[in-house]
Structure 1
Amino acid sequence: MVKTENVKLLHRYGLVLILIFGIGIHCFESKAQVQEKGFPESFFMEQKSALLIPTLKLDSVRVEKMLKEDQKLKIDNRYGVVQSCDINIKEAGIRTEIQGKGIIWQYKVESEDAYSLGIYFKKYHLPPKAKVFIYDSSKTLIRGAFTQNNNNPGNRLPVAEFQGKNMIIEYFEPLSPEFSGELVLGAVSQAYTDLKRLADDRIGINCEEGADWQVEKHSVCLMTFHDFQNSYFCTGALLNNVKEDETPYFLTANHCIHTELTANTLITYFNYEDSTCKSDDASFSQTLSGATFKAGSSHSDFSLLLLNEYPPDEYNPFYAGWDVTGINPRSGACLHHPDGESKSIATAGNTAFSYPEKIEWFSEDLRLISTTLPDTHWNVLFDHGLPKAGSSGGPLFDQNKRIAGQLHGGVNSVILFGKLSLSWNYHASYTEQLAHWLDPSNTRKTLNGIWKMPPKTNFRAELQEVCVNSPIKFTDKTTHRPTGWNWEIDPPFYSFTNGTDSTSQNPEILFLKDGTYSVKLTTSNKYGSHELIQKKYILARSKLDVRFLKARRDSTVCGCDLKDFALKASGAVNYSFKIDKPELIDTTIHSNTLFLSLNPSANYTKSFDTWVKVTGTNGHCIASDSILLHVIIQPNDDVIHASKLFLGRNTGYSNKCATPEMNEPNPPSSGCLVKKSWCPDFTSGRSLIDNSVWFTFISPSNGLVTINTYGFDDQIAVYRADSYSSILSGDRTQYSLLAANDNRSNSDKTAIIENLELDPGKQYWLQVDGHNAAYGNIIIDILSNSLEAVVFPNPSSGSFNLNLFHPKTGIADLSVSDLKGRELFSRQFKVSVNSTQFDFDLTGYPKGIYVLRVNLNGAGLSKKLIYF
């Protein structure tokens, strides 16, 4: 992937560097990875001849050709060639039944000329008591057992290098397993070199220079991985996080690993170091397999991985601290694996400086890989030792023994480490920063490392208000991997049940009398102990207190929010729920939570109420709670259901529960005071429309109208269209935007459209939306400068409604006459902008055609009435 050459200064602004990372390979020991002790089942039975075991014969690795290619191209990092495959061990392997125990499958992998083999299971998911072993045909080298403890969320498992040219994979599955196991071989790596290359200027970690770094060294690992073509080495380190819970976050270089698939193939080698400065006895015996990719960026060349397995205590893992202040390290050290050698150290007594120039990074074939900007890297001048190929990703510890960066590469005096302060949160995306994973609340800029920590006790009960004589589960939440537990409860009116006792990690406890109980848990491991007392933690009663959380007995919710709307209950162990409008609301239940969603096939035309009931039980105790849920359906949310407005004041409307509609039009966002425009909306992200409602109105006889709104920061628009479907067509030729307004002034955020000229007697559409998702009750005045009257229904069976408007307040004289001019009756009404709706009744008069006459403030009009 990379090679080393002399630094070339191409121009004054940019320094071209060749990446350094890589390694040769050593002979591997037979013990590695987290495994269970034991032997393959086939060792205890009369084994079939190895010749009968199905075999994958790998292609020749062509050792001499690969070595010459590495030498010619100066590739220092590559040690193996990967051959992909897709072999289901349970289908391709030879099957043997073991009476009374289960079944084994065996499959062999054989190389013509490899020094060692590394395998990668693309599917690995084992049931309890199933086991995988790997051994050579002579049965002298054995690896395993791998069990369900090696299962991981990705269902993949890489296995560390296995010395020799052949291996047999043996899978044992017990009788009647919980589920059928999966074991599929996806790739095999063949090492073509077994040469131990000694790095120049290498200083072992246990030499004099490493005396002050004997704790921090336990965070640093040699790592192998492959890209399904070739196999490589790099260096990485465990990182602490603000929870200090020993989550195995692992920092390395982005140019080493930058994809999930490659992270899945990772093998980390802990404590690969010589025991003394002059010895050559480093061991590969402590390894972990697999990781997931969490974050990374080429900007500062970092990758953060999460190891699939927790390092066991015998590995003595140290979770390194960090410094993301961006302050120059005054001195420090790089702990690394140069040329893949045992753990080494390079020390610097001088202050690192921020590299001020652009850097171009090239691959071994001089192809430009990436360009990093000025001041993204620390340049470190080392006094003793020097990072080499294979050191990439090695941590740079500062004078406070906190990590300030990881090795990117360099040559001679230009050794560059990507700044951890840039990796922290330079990019906003969680997948390109460290902050989200190590300190999501951004509480600090420095953190010390942790090592050999005593436990920090924590626990929780399934319930804190419990039923007397009903079992309650307690769950240990202690960090730093405790190995011992002791539970104490006061007062002593309790007993353990279901096979648990005071030393169980997660006991079940019966409280025997009513009252409050304090609970004490003491946890321990080989580094110490810690206790936690939660006083008056449990309230035991003969009756349960079951209730909905964060919900009032009368609760209101918008229909548009009923999409997996959660109602959570507490106070019991088991719950059931009931709703009295199941035809309108769909429900799903998860544990103590009821999720509500509007039934998409139901016809919603108005708001409705529904009772929701929860019944909780714990042992023999039972209780319930109910709430009345008011579901608000916005009647004029959609254009088709637009509400009719009349001249004068229109009240009783809100947009609180409104939503945008598909293809709903909106004015441009040219400015708050610009004609036919709305203000820009910075909350929705996709559209100006947040929570619009719709209205229709009939233009007055003179065609001149003013629309005045009050209530909240709204924005309005008037459209002309033949029908609602034209407005929602998405075709602007089928409707016209006639007017729009957002703010009537710089200080008044309500909307107004003045003196809009329309065609008399025609229907128009009014859109009202909340700017930046504002909502509330709204008053809409539809105003004209002439006397206007609308009678409805007309024809009528007797009762008529009259909408009467005049721009000035006054007393209206109303009379109804027959066609011969004979007056049936007369009335007087006080008309104002707030009082425009009146009614009268012709019931009892002969059916027929009549004339309505109105006189107000010197103006008059007449309307024909049809009474049937």
Structure 2
Amino acid sequence: MKAFLSTFLIFIFKIAISQISYGPYPYTLDTEGQSETIFTVQLNQPNIAALKAEDEITDNYKDIPWRFGAVEDVNIDFFQVASQKTLPDGTKRYRLLINSNDAISINLNYSSFELAEGTRLFIHNEDFTETIGAFTSENNKDKGDFATTLTKGKSAIVEVLEPQGQKVASNVVISSIVYGYRSLIDKAADFGNAASCNIDINCNEGNLWQNEKRSVVLILKSNNSRWCSGALVNNVQQDGKPYILTASHCGLDAASSIFIFNYESANCSPRTDGSLSQSIVGSTLRANNYETDFSLFELSSTPPASYNVFYSGWDATGRTPKNATGIHHARGDVKKIAIDFDTLKSAKYSVATLTNGHWEVSDWDLGTTQTVSSGSPLYNESHRIVGQLHGGRAACGNDEPDFYGKFDKSWDYQSAASKQLKAWLDPNGTNTKVLNGYDPNPAAFDRDIELLNFEGQTYYQCGNPGTQSILLSNRGNDTIFNFELIYTLNNNTPVTVFISDTLLRNEVSTFNLPPIIFNKGINTLSINVGSINTASDQNVINNTLTASVVGFIPNYTVSFEFKTDDYGSELSYIIKDSTNQYTLYNNGSFVNNSGGNVFHYDYCFSPGCYTLNLKDIGNDGYCCGFGQGYTLITMNNGLDTILYETSFASSSKSYKFCITDSTTSLNDFDNKNYFSIFPNPTKDKVEIKLKDSNTIQSILLTDISGRVIYYNEQSPTATVDLQGLKPSIYFLTVTTKNGKQTEKIIKQ
């Protein structure tokens, strides 16, 4: 580090103040309009090419926090070197210029930060168009260390205003300076740096998440040269204690990390850069655990009312979320949202993590995550946190998964208070496992119900009247005692349902509509809010839900059998309608097991064609390197085979199958009961067991296409060897002295 005196010219103009912490800058700049000499610290330029070469590698991993700056260690006693000037009102002003050749941003860390009462510290960018502060004695920490957030540009001016007659000395020592070589606050750098498929939180997809977004923070960490995400969470006492949940791998320095609220674009289009001014410096680590990759910090101060924060609710029951939403800062950009409409899977993220200690988002349906998303919250369908982002390979243009450490495993899996959430979020041991969010600020409306989504089977109904469940929340100030839901089916006459129940502010709950008879095919079901406490809902923007419901009338029960290979946790499937638009059934809750596991499900279909999508995040399917899996779809107690698939050996594959009013069987034979075969399915051979005193005259084995595999009429035996044949469906035709019979064989 080199320090030298230089002349830095300051001219008169009106300052644009970013007001944070404890008050605005009290003056127009340099009221005398004269230039002054300011002591200057000139930063050494880091090897940016080498840093970016490292970044090319580490940026691909979400579990490595994203780096934007190089740290230069210094030891600058501010009051010993800063230039001094007495202003006309008697205030003593100290200024220090920190300069670089071409840094994008500059931010400071302090080993000592003790301001006397009445003394204020500000930091300006080089042209005084941006100011952070004032920082006062209220910002003093017990340990004395501190940090301040970024200023744009290649220079920063540290200024202290000391009131006339100040008797108590202040002490400020700068211990390191972060030279920003790529920055989230510069439009040429990271504003807009998230990939194209990312969705801003204030676009339509984020309309129902306007409360939860106020919880999510951008965190400056690791000598304040790297970024992560996190979320402000509620506790059972609902007292506004400022706990931040993030990822353990972010490795925050609790005392000096900076937590930035409300960095977002004000609009979906056109997008605008957000403000970094609403920040809190410093925290205390309360608990962390690498097995589920969580850390819980308590902020050094409560966010002020002007930050308009929200404390997110959570779910520690371990119930599998039916869908999921992530809110995060992709690559340090303004706040984003990602949504997965499918049921989550339990998973193990790495060797060091807990078995089934993570939720797997197999494939985001809307948006994605990137680096700096690490530590961001994952919400279930009830808008409660169920995990925080550990890592994953999800990105624009792929179907790769993300993994979130489970909130319920972090809750009390470890008994020590320093390794669990329960001791801090439920300090009195009430055993509360589900908690709604907490809003310390008044709501915009007294009466406001927000319809969140449909619960349960939304997209199909098997022949009988179906009960639809609606998830909703009280977003108004008033406690709700009764309300109306109005539903409309296929634009027919609306039906009003009166519900009498108590719903507290921010409480999320599920309510059932009466049974509804759907038509065959695609139905449109719309739900609206009527009155609340016999008066009108004051906010109509969040009052409507619409869903397409597929009516299966008449309906058939189809048997779906799914066998995994050794790595079942990598596998999942989705069954969609003929348009490949509506998801009818999906599953991905499989576990690893040597030899695989067989799962049986009964699904409802009406006549028509459907699409089965198989997926494997290991990119090798269930055939054939690590065991042999299969998919078998049958009807009529297994007599009619609709689909038998054994060759899936890639990351994804799609199959079409059809259900018709007539039997769609691969084994449609008018058989006599001359013999039986066992075992079936089989891995190697089957035995023929004759009925009565029958004898075998010939044996014919064919594959599903009719190709002859084996024929013997000379010396047929009661054993048929299938070793060496690939897994598939085969047909065994046996001619006996009493007649001919054909049976289907499933070769595993």
* TM-score, reference length from structure 1: 0.45
Specify the alignment match of 2:40 in structure 1: 55
Which residue number in structure 2 is paired with residue 186 of structure 1? 175
Does residue 281 (structure 1) correspond to residue 272 (structure 2)? The answer is: yes
Q: Structure 1's 289 and 32: CA in aligned 2 closer, same or farther, altered over 3 A?
A: farther
Residue 47 to residue 289, structure 1, CA distance change in 2 (3 Å)? farther
- Taking the aligned partners of 2:83 and 2:112, their CA distance within structure 1 comes to 19
Q: How does 1:65-80 map to 2 (within 5 A)?
A: 65-71=50-56, 74=59, 77-80=66-69
Q: Output one character per residue of 1:830-861: Cα deviation in whole Å (capped at 9) or x when no partner.
A: xxxxxxxxxxxxxxxxxxxxxxxxxxxxxxxx
Determine whether 1:451 maps to 2:436: no
Provide the C-alpha distance between the structure 2 equivalents of 1:153 and 1:124, rounded to a whole number of angstroms: 10
Match of 1:589 in 2: none
Report what 1:313 is aligned to: 305
Paired residues of 2:126 and 2:153 also in contact (CA < 8 A): no
State the shift of 1:48 in Å: 6.0
Per the TM alignment, residue 152 of structure 1 is displaced from its structure 2 partner at its CA by: 3.4
Q: Could you tell me how far 1:408 is from its partner in structure 2?
A: 0.4
Query: In the alignment, does 2:405 pair up with 1:418?
Result: yes
2:291 aligns with one of 287, 290, 299: 299
1:374 and 2:355 aligned: yes
- Aligned in 2, Cα 1:32/1:417: closer, same or farther, shift over 3 Å? farther
Indicate if the aligned counterparts of 1:84 and 1:186 stay in contact, CA closer than 8 A: yes
Contact 2:202 2:267 in 1 (8 A): yes
Q: Distance in 1 between matches of 2:356 and 2:194?
A: 33
Q: Does 1:248 align with 2:242?
A: yes
1:152 to 2:141 alignment: yes
**Structure 1 partner of 2:683:** none
Cα pair 1:40 1:133 within 8 Å, conserved: no
Q: Which amino acid aligns with 2:131?
A: I
Q: Distance in 1 between matches of 2:131 and 2:370?
A: 33
- Equivalent residue, structure 2, for 1:330: 322
Distance 1:246 1:298 in 2: 27
Alignment check: 8 A CA contact 2:17 2:25 kept: no
Structure showing greater radius of gyration is: 1
Q: Quote the residue 1:343 is aligned against.
A: 335
- Tell me the CA shift for residue 170 of structure 1: 1.6
Q: Distance in 2 between matches of 1:250 and 1:349?
A: 27
Q: Is the 8 A contact 1:296 1:304 kept in 2?
A: yes
Q: What displacement does 1:110 show?
A: 1.1
Aligned-pair distance for 1:437?
A: 1.5
Tell me, yes or no, if the aligned pair for 2:349 and 2:358 is still in contact at 8 Å.
Answer: no
Cross-structure match for 1:218: 214
**Which among 68, 72, 78 is matched to residue 83 of structure 1?**
72
Q: Is the 8 A contact 1:199 1:341 kept in 2?
A: no
Does structure 1 retain, via aligned residues, the 8 Å contact 2:324–2:341? yes
Q: Alignment partner for residue 171 of structure 1, among 160, 168, 175?
A: 160
1:559-600 CA-partner distances (Å, limit 9, x unpaired): xxxxxxxxxxxxxxxxxxxxxxxxxxxxxxxxxxxxxxxxxx
* C-alpha distance 92-417 of structure 1, shift in aligned 2 (>3 A): same
Q: 1:166 to 1:346 in 2, by over 3 A?
A: same
Q: Deviations over 1:436-483 (max 9, x none)?
A: 21111221111111114459xxxxxxxxxxxxxxxxxxxxxxxxxxxx
Structure 1 residues 56 and 335: alpha-carbon distance in aligned structure 2, compared to 1, 3 A threshold: same
1:272 aligns with 263
SS in 2 for 1:149: helix
Which sections of structure 2, spanning at least 5 residues, go unmatched? 1-15, 184-188, 395-399, 444-504, 506-748
Asked if the contact 2:349–2:403 (Cα under 8 Å) also holds between the matched residues in 1, the reply is: no
Query: Aligned AA for 1:191?
Result: G
Q: Secondary structure at the match of 2:30?
A: helix
SS at match of 2:200: coil
Q: In the TM superposition, what is the alpha-carbon distance from 1:45 to its structure 2 partner?
A: 5.0
Q: Residue 106 in 1 paired to residue 99 in 2?
A: no
Contact 1:122–1:157 (CA under 8 A) maintained in structure 2: yes
Alignment of 1:589-628 (within 5 A): none
TM-score, reference length from structure 2: 0.52
Provide the rounded CA distance (Å) in 1 between the counterparts of 2:343 and 2:231: 22
Q: Deviations over 1:621-674 (max 9, x none)?
A: xxxxxxxxxxxxxxxxxxxxxxxxxxxxxxxxxxxxxxxxxxxxxxxxxxxxxx
Mapped to 2, the partners of 1:171 and 1:449 lie a distance apart of: 40
CA contact (8 A) 1:301 1:408 kept: yes
The residue identity in structure 2 corresponding to 1:162 is T
- Write the distance in 2 (CA, Å) between the matches of 1:46 and 1:200: 47
Task: Say if 2:422 is the partner of 1:435.
Answer: yes
Change (3 A) 1:73 1:434: closer
> What is the one-letter code of the residue matched to 2:42?
K
- The answer to whether the 8 A contact 2:316-2:433 is kept is yes
Q: 1:147 to 1:328 in 2, by over 3 A?
A: same
Q: CA deviation at 1:378?
A: 0.9
- 1:272-298 deviations in Å (ceiling 9; x for gaps): 222232322131243222222221111
Q: CA deviation at 1:199?
A: 1.5
SS at match of 2:388: strand
Question: How much identity, in percent, do the aligned residues show?
Answer: 33
CA distance in 2, matches of 1:279, 1:100: 45
Deviations 1:214-263 (A, max 9, x none): 111111122222337xx1111110011122111111111111135xxx12
**RMSD of aligned Cα (Å):** 2.5
Give how far 1:117 is off: 0.3
Gaps of 5+ in 1: 1-28, 361-370, 456-526, 528-868
Secondary structure of residue in 1 paired with 2:177 = strand
**Is the Cα contact below 8 Å between 2:266 and 2:274 reproduced in 1?**
no
Alpha-carbon offset, residue 44 of structure 1: 3.5
Take 1:248 and 1:46, find their aligned partners in 2: how far apart are those partners?
Answer: 44
Distance in 2 of aligned mates of 1:47 and 1:184: 28
Q: Kindly tell me: are residues 242 and 176 of structure 1, through their superposed partners in 2, closer, same or farther at Cα, counting changes over 3 Å? A: farther
* 1:298 alignment partner AA: Y
Equivalents in 2 of 1:32, 1:42: separation in Å? 16
Q: Is the 8 A contact 1:30 1:162 kept in 2?
A: no
Q: Per the alignment, do residues 153 and 244 of structure 1 end up closer, same or farther by CA in structure 2, a change over 3 Å counting?
A: farther
- Amino acid of the structure 1 residue aligned with 2:272: D
**Where does 1:25-44 land on structure 2 (aligned, <5 Å)?**
31=18, 33-39=20-26, 43-44=30-31
Answer yes or no: is 1:386 the counterpart of 2:375: no
In structure 2, how many angstroms separate the alpha carbons of the residues matched to 1:155 and 1:41? 31
State the 1:323 CA deviation.
Answer: 1.1
The AA in structure 2 aligned to 1:342 is V
| 126 and 342 in structure 1: CA distance in 2 versus 1, 3 angstrom threshold | same
Aligned equivalents of 1:442, 1:91: Cα separation in 2: 52
Give, in whole Å, the separation in 1 of the partners of 2:76 and 2:46: 20
State the aligned residue count. Answer: 410
The reply on whether 1:237 has 2:218 as its aligned counterpart is: no
Q: Aligned pair in 2 of structure 1 residues 202, 451: CA closer, same or farther (>3 Å)?
A: same
Contact 2:259–2:281 under 8 Å retained in 1: yes
Of 175, 193, 202 in structure 2, the residue corresponding to residue 206 of structure 1 is 202
State the Cα distance separating 1:157 from its structure 2 match. 2.6
How far apart, in 1, do the equivalents of 2:441 and 2:357 lie? Answer: 34
Map of 2:124 onto structure 1: 135
